[in-house]
Amino acid sequence: MKFTEGYWLRKESVQASYASQAYTVEEIPNGMRIVAPERPIRSRADALDLTALVVEFVSAGHNDIAVTATHYQGYDNWEPRYDLNWNPDPVTVEITDEEAVMTAGDLTVRVRRSDFYYRFEAGGRLLTSSGFRNLAYMRTKKRPMSYRPGPHYLTMEYEPYMVSELSLKPGETIYGFGERFTPFVKNGQTVTMWNEDGGTASEVSYKNVPLYVSSEHYAVFADHTGPVSFEVGTEKVEYVGMSIPGEEIRYHLIYGATPAELMDNYTALTGRPALPPAWSFGLWLSTSFKPEYDEETTGKLIAGMQDRKIPMRVFHFDCYWMKALHWCDFEWDDAVFSDVEGMLARYHEKGLKICCWVNPYVGQNNDFFRDGLANGYFLQRADGRGIKQVDNWQPGLAVLDVTNPEACAWYADKIRDLLRKGVDAIKTDFGERIPTDVEYYDGSDPEAMHNYYTYLYNKLVFETIEEERGVGNAVLFARSATAGSQKFPVHWGGDCSASYASMAETLRAGLSFAMSGFSFWSHDISGFESTATPDLYKRWVQFGIFSTHSRLHGADTYRVPWIFDEESVDVLRRFSELKNTLMPYIFRMAVQAHEHGTPVMRPMAFSFPEDPACRYLDMQYMLGDSLLVAPIFNEEGISDFYLPEGTWKNLLDGEILTGGKWYRRTYDYFHLGVFVRGNTLLAIGGNTQVPDYDYTQDLTLHYYLPADDLECRAEVTDLTGKVILTATATHREGKVDLQLKGDTIPDKLRYVVHLADGSEETGELS
Contacts of 301 (CB under 8 A, 6+ apart): 285, 287, 293, 315, 558, 560
Closest CA to 257 of 126, 122, 65, 124: 122
Active site residue 495: yes
- With beta carbons less than 8 A apart as the criterion, state whether 394 and 325 touch: yes
- Helix/strand/coil for 577: helix
The H or E element containing residue 712 is strand 712-717
Burial class of residue 123 in the structure, from the number of CB atoms within 10 Å of its CB (0-12 exposed, 13-18 middle, 19+ buried): exposed
Closest CA to 39 of 28, 48, 30: 48
* Interatomic CA distance for residues 111 and 97, integer angstroms: 11
Residue among 247, 432, 447, 625 flagged as catalytic: 432
CA 665 from centroid of its chain's CA atoms:
31
Q: What are phi and psi of 562, to 5 degrees?
A: -70, -15
Sorted by sequence, the CB contacts under 8 Å of residue 439 that are 6+ apart come out as: 379, 380, 381, 382, 384, 446
**CA–CA separation, 70 and 522 (whole Å):** 40
Inter-residue contact 630 to 543 (CB < 8 Å): no
Please answer whether residues 619 and 504 qualify as being in contact, where contact means their C-beta atoms are separated by less than 8 angstroms.
yes
Residue partners of 452: CB distance under 8 A and separation at least 6: 80, 82, 225, 444, 482
d(CA 76, CA 444): 11
User: Rounded CA gap, 3 and 701, in Å?
Assistant: 59
Instruction: For 669, list phi and psi in degrees, rounded to 5.
Output: -75, -10
Query: Please, what's the largest Cα pairwise distance for the chain?
Result: 95
DSSP E strand stretches across 62-206: 64-70, 91-95, 99-104, 107-112, 117-122, 125-130, 135-143, 157-167, 174-179, 190-192
* Strands laid side by side in the 91-95 sheet: 91-95, 99-104, 107-112, 117-122, 125-130
Q: Which position among 495, 505, 535, 625 bears the catalytic label? A: 495
Calculate the dihedral angle through the C-alpha atoms of 78, 81, 87, 88, rounding to the nearest 10 degrees. -50
Cα→Cα distances 180→9, 196, 325, 629, 653, Å = 31, 12, 32, 20, 33
Instruction: Please name the helix (run of DSSP H) or strand (run of DSSP E) that holds residue 702, with its range, or none.
Output: strand 700-704
For residue 607, give the H/E element and its range.
helix 604-607
Kindly report the number of other CB atoms within 10 A of residue 401's CB atom. Answer: 29
The rounded distance, in Å, linking the Cα atoms of 540 and 534 is 10
In the residue annotation, 307 being an active-site residue is answered as no
**355 by DSSP, 3-state: which?**
strand
User: Residue 496 and residue 519: Cα distance in Å, rounded?
Assistant: 20
| Rounded distance between C-alpha atoms, residue 55 and residue 531, angstroms | 55
376: left (phi over 0), alpha (psi -120 to 50) or beta: left
**How far is it, in rounded angstroms, from Cα 439 to Cα 403?**
10
What lies within 8 Å, CB to CB, of 539 at 6+ separation is 500, 503, 631, 632, 633, 669
Query: Of 179, 247, 264, 429, which residue is the catalytic one?
Result: 429
Is residue 83 part of the annotated active site? The answer reads no
- Mapping DSSP onto H, E and C, the string for 183-216 reads CCCCCCCEEECCECCCCCCCCCECEEEEEEEECC
Answer yes or no: are the C-beta atoms of 57 and 94 closer than 8 Å.
no
Task: Please give the backbone phi and psi of residue 299, each rounded to the nearest 5 degrees, phi first.
Answer: -60, -40
User: Which amino acids are annotated catalytic?
Assistant: 429, 432, 495
